Structure 1
Amino acid sequence: MRWEFKRDFEDLEIIITEVQNPIADRKMNPNLPKTVLKTKCNFDEFVLCVVKELDRIIKQRGILGYRQEWQSSTFPVDGFLALKYACLYKKPFEITKKDSGTSLDEELNLLNKNIDEM
């Protein structure tokens, strides 16, 4: 599957296409590639849905449990925190301290904050 995201201000177009992997597929399928889904949605609502789902997964599985479930993929904690912060406070991720990195206490508070109340 190939996912394409095209943003036009507050609109987001999502196109999911089923493609063929010529290395893995010995028999070529003449019906591929084909578009499986083509839709538009509000960008902010889409991001909020992604954050809510990641929030649910991390609270259910934990960061290390996420890796156990999805084997080779580590939990994208930095991107998740940035998106969650942006959704909660409607501004860019700014919990860094000038010249000293980030605050672990603020990051942990953000991880524990319940986004479902939004």
Structure 2
Amino acid sequence: MPRSQRSPLLLAGLLATAGITHFASPRQYDALVPSSLPGSPRTWTYASGVAELALAAGVALPRTRKAAALAAAAFFVGVFPANVKMALDWRDRPAPQKAAAFGRLPLQIPLVLWARGVAKSTEGRA
């Protein structure tokens, strides 16, 4: 399978795995929900898990791939504040945890670019 055909499926797999972990281990995500959001952190954790699963399905299907990939790029931008919160909350933790928390921040950029690339590679095919 050519790389251009694998990339959307890998992105869908990443999104699906992340979505599943929101239900399998919600407590770790609850702590990342900014307190400025209304309602229960658990509600936001489950909602973001559902969103990731829906995005995964959309990216996996050629017919909805472009729109879902663009939505995934927007989603990756939208969850950035949670990653910032994690980095700030973990700034006094041991060095490996602190490095992981701060290391997540720049990783959003390749995720956004990957999703946009999947959308762009879909143009003209649907």
Q: TM-score, normalised by structure 1?
A: 0.30
Higher relative contact order (CA 8 A, sep 6+): 2
For the pair shown, which has the larger CA radius of gyration, 1 or 2?
A: 1
Point out the structure with the larger strand share: 1
